[in-house]
Each structure stands twice: as C-alpha cells, then as structure tokens.
Chain A
Amino acid sequence: MKNRLIYHVISLSIVFNPLSAALTFSVSGNPAPMTINSAVAGSPLTSVSDTSTSYTLATDNKGAKLSARLNTSLPSGVTLKLLAAAPTGATSTGTITLSTTNQDLVTGIPPLTPLQTRSLTYTLAAAVTASLVVSKTVTVTLTLR
C-alpha cells in the first residue's frame, strides 16, 4: 500500500493595532505681517501681537502634546513669542519665546480629545539695539505628538 502524504497548510494572521491613533492637526494659516514702528519716548520699542490664527486638533493618543520651534534663529535683539490656548482638559505652558529648539506649548492633551479649535497669539518684540529689518520671514513648525 502506498503511503500518501497529506499536507494541511494552515495560515494564521494576527492583526495587531496598538493604537487606534486617529490624529487630526491643522493650522488656519499664517499670521498677518507684524511691524515694530513706534515707542513711547524713554521706553523700549512697542511690541506688536497677532491673534488672527488658530490650530485645530483631535487625537486619540494618550499624553499628547503640542510643541513648536523656529527654522532659524531671529536677529540679535529680536524675539518672537507664542501662546497657544489649550484644548479642554489640557494645559497651556503659557507664552514661550520661540527658538530653534522644540518647546512645549500645550501638554496633557487627554486621550479621545474631540475636534477643537484654539487660538494662537504671536508677539514680536525688539530691543533698540536690534538692526532694522524689512519683511523678513521665519517659519514656525508646530508638532502634535
């Protein structure tokens, strides 16, 4: 009697989805150009602010946070600050002075945060010793992680 070899091939697939990590993050656009062009005599140059932009997010991540950095340093004596309002349940770190190093703007964004839009406030300041500048640009990169 001939031996018959019968092979049964069974394939098992395990689909591992560690995060149902839905993440939505956008910004409304660029702030309006900011110009420092005045001072109260005897006081530093008058800083200017822009609150025309906002960010929108939704996240399922646990412990998500929003951070920001510049693509390049600003000229000596010039500072750009950013304040991000916090989504519900999260904490804004307050106004930070932007640099080329990533810094937290908002921390503790709760998991399952639904879609929300919050304001961004930029403040430009310059010392009297800062060089005059005409229409320079700097890029602010915001990261939600």
Chain B
Amino acid sequence: MKHVIFTVSILFCCACTGLFGATNSQTVTYTISGVNSLTISGNPAPMTIGGAVAGSQPMSASDSSTTYNLTTNNVGQRITASLNTAMPSNVTLAMRLAAPAGASSAGSVVLSTSAQNFVTSVSQVSQSNLTITYTLSATVAAAPQGPLTRMITFTLGP
C-alpha cells in the first residue's frame, strides 16, 4: 500500500521595513533671547515761545506729532530719556510718553542730562504709535534765543 503524505508550508516573506515604514530623527536646538527694541517716528516740529497773557508767564508750546514703537519679551523694563545738553536758564523741556499695555507712564517729566524714568513696568509687550508729547516752557527771566536744538536719548532696558 502506498501512502502519500503532503506537507504544505506557506512562508510569508516580506521586507518588514517596507511594510511598517522607516523613521529618522532630527534634534532641533533653540534659544529665545531677551529682546528690547524701541524706535521713534521722527523729530517734533520746531517749538516757539512767543506769546503771553499779560500778567502771566509766557505761554508754553507743545508738540504731540511724534510717536514711539516698542517690542520687548523681557519683564519689568523701563523707558528712560535724557538730554545731550542742559536747557538754557529758565527754559524747560518736558516730555510725556504714553504707556504701552500693562506699563505705567510717569506723566510729564522735565528732561535733564540725567536719565529719568518716563515709563515703568514694561513687560512682554509689542505696541506701535504710542504718543510722545513735548512741552517747552520759559519764564520771563529766560533770555530770547534760538533756534536751539537738543537731542533726547531714549533707552528701553532694565
């Protein structure tokens, strides 16, 4: 008697990487540094003191034609400003900076050759077209003069 036994084996052969995909990795290294950026729109128009109400000091002159922009990702910054040269005797130049969101304006501050705070508590903000207001004042004791120029240096920092 003859017996025939069949053995059937089925082999699956597959390229596993092709079936399941392939991966690779990249390492990305990054740094976020502290940034302070401040710009001014330009120079105010010339200011002239030339009139007075009788019995009162000469009328002051103001200008609000300029603005500033700022961006900072730091916390607790301030904007300071100073003159390059002192004003003539009995003449003052005051400046007021509008504050960006979350910060505090010091109001109108008489400029000097020492840096003074104009805006404080400036934190993580980016804002444009914030108003700068200049006020030029003189007493009757101030000598007639001009045109004179002064340079104001603004600083955004800790």
Contacts and interface: CB of A to CB of B under 8 A. Distances in A.
Interface size class of B (residues with CB under 8 A): 35 or more
Nearest to B34: A132
Given A12-B6, A128-B73, A130-B73, A37 B22 contact: no
Contact of A10 (B5, B21, B23): B5
B158 to A, nearest CB: 13
Interface stretch (B49-57, B89-97, B103-111, B120-128): B120-128
Contacts of B26: 27, 29-31, 53, 120, 139-140, 142
Interface string B36-77: 011100000000000000000000000000001111111000
B141 interface: no
A19 B12 CA distance: 10
Interface residues of A, number: 71
Interface string B4-42: 111111111111011111111111111111110111000
Given A6-B1, A8-B2, A126-B32, A61 B127 contact: no
Interface string A1-42: 001111111111111111111111111011101111111111
B126 A39 contact: yes
Nearest to B29: A33
Contact of A44 (B6, B7, B71): B71
A136 B18 CA distance: 34
A76 to B, nearest CB: 11
Interface of B: 1-15, 17-35, 37-39, 68-74, 124-129
15 contacts: A5-B3, A12-B6, A13-B10, A17-B12, A25-B23, A35-B30, A35-B33, A39-B35, A78-B32, A122-B28, A124-B30, A129-B73, A141-B23, A142-B23, A145-B22
